[in-house]
Amino acid sequence: MSSAAPGIRVFNTLGRRVEAFSPENPPLVSMYTCGPTVYDYTHVGHARTFVAFDAIKRYLNLRGYSVFHVQNITDIDDKIINKARETGRDWREIADYYARDYLDQLEALRIRIDVHPRVTSHIKEIIEFIQGLLDKGYAYVAESGSVYFDVDKYPDYGRLLGKFQRDAWRQEPEALKEKRNPYDFALWKAAKPGEPWWDSPWGRGRPGWHIECSVMSSRYLGRRIDIHGGGIDLVFPHHENERAQSEALFGHRWVKYWMHVNYLTIEGEKMSKSLGNIVVLREAIKKWGAGPLRLWLLSSSYRHPLDYSEEAMKQYVRLHDRFRSMVDSLLRRITKLQETHYLDDHDLEVLAELRRIHQGWHLAMASDFNFGEAMSRVWELTNLYFREVESSESRALLYYTLKVANDMNRIYAVADDLLGEVRTGEGLEEPLIDLIVEVRSELRKRRMYDLADAIRARLAELGIVLMDYRDRTEWRRAR
């Protein structure tokens, strides 16, 4: 599917409308997503956002774009400092420990980020960015040495949120005497006793939360970004504040497409540490496997809530196993077919159904990355394969099915080990299985069914499934 591929359309939070996707410098696409504040274990709610943007990146790559993806690590923050106080550990140790957990889980889920900048490695650039805002009159230095962004100087504030009521804003007590307005936000926080600090023109302190993403995104992607994304909870104030300070400094529109992933829920409630209903990601991977978990995380539109349940996970364990079994069977069938079988009328009907599934999957992915609709085509593909294609002698059917499966796997990444090479054998393993199947077939011809059934059962225990047809027996791996 190339020239006939549908145009990609995305929902832009800025303006709340679906727009045609057209990056600034095609085929290059710059993408920045907000990563974790590393003060605790990564949970499944985080993973939903990370997997969604990884899948978006993968689909754009499949469609011929070259995506450069930056995702930050916030390694200095109030939460990290508080965790250090609670545990008696150094704040750097806290950040490094949980950053390692985060990176390990990304690797398990086959998420690849091009650059992972850390806040503490970009203090110089952050200070320069803040100084630029001060020079332009968009920020002011408080008596304490903290620096604040003056929201009233940026008239477009609130458009990403869709509304902004200044009169409804509540002032936090500790900043009551420092801010000109209750809705102004910190760019630089003056050091408090016992907190980590860095020197700056305004005194010792550390970066505010919002400034880091503006600095690191522009540092690696430039002053115009195609996609900026994160969880829906970041729309306000984090992304609104990023947009305000960046466009104030740069003097032009900063991000073309703002994209946000909806909440992951448990029994209808948002998954969050404050509610105590967290599912730690490494534990979920250990229980269900990274592949099934990744499939499930891509089972619904990224803009809709996704509810975590045991029943849903069991369903996607089955789809994961079925998809891998299909790929494994496909590769072996293609390898074994020796003669070209011309397409008959039935083959043509199946080929048309395969094309419908393939086009439907692309249409779903191109329509604001509708993962839910796309996933229904994965189920259709596996069902059609085991019902109609697996027993076919047509190489055309088998190769086109492999094409569809490979396109899908480029996004889902659950059969990379199988599709990484066209396997004609793995040492002695496959020839030995073929020999065992041949011996069993001979036993069946001699009506020695008890022994033949024992061989089937033993192979099943080893993860090898046998399928008896009228004139032959085929095998595939269960996973």
Enumerate the domain spans of the chain.
Answer: 23-307, 313-419, 429-477
- A 10 A CB-CB count for 157 gives 20
Enter the tokens of residue 455: 């061989």
Q: What is the structure's pLDDT at 171?
A: 57
pTM: predicted TM-score of the whole model, two decimal places: 0.86
The number of residues in the chain equals: 479
Take residue 394 and report the two structure tokens written for it: 């047509």
Contact 208, 133 (CB under 8 A): no
Q: C-alpha distances in angstroms, 70 versus 54, 134, 376?
A: 11, 27, 30
Domains 23-307 and 313-419 share a fold: no
For the chain, list residues with pLDDT below 50. 1-3, 421-428
Assigned CATH topology for domain 23-307: Rossmann fold (3.40.50)
* pLDDT of res. 458: 78
Helices vs strands, H then E, count in the chain:
15, 15
Residue 256 corresponds to which tokens in the numbers above?
């073309």
Q: For residue 338, count CB atoms less than 10 angstroms from its CB and return exposed for 0-12, middle for 13-18, buried for 19 or more.
A: exposed
CATH architecture of 313-419: Orthogonal Bundle (1.10)
Q: Could you give the CA distance from residue 475 to residue 469 in angstroms, rounded to a whole number?
A: 11
Distance in angstroms (rounded) separating the CA atoms of residues 404 and 1:
9
Q: Is residue 307 within 8 Å of 266, Cβ to Cβ?
A: yes
d(CA 355, CA 268): 37
Give the CA dihedral 128, 134, 137, 139, nearest 10 degrees.
110
Cis bond leading into 36, ω under 30°? no
Note the pLDDT of residue 165: 63
The pLDDT tens digits of the residues spanning 442-473 come to: 777 777 788 788 888 878 877 788 888 777 78
Is-contact 55 288, C-beta < 8 A? no
Residue pLDDT, tens place only, 415-430: 999 987 443 334 446 6
Phi and psi torsions of 202, nearest 5°: -105, 5
Residues in contact with 161: Cβ distance below 8 Å, sequence separation at least 6, in sequence order = 235, 236, 240
DSSP 260-312: EEPPEEETTEE--TTTT---BHHHHHHHH-HHHHHHHHTSS-TTS-EEE-HHH
| 8 Å CB contact between 37 and 71 | no
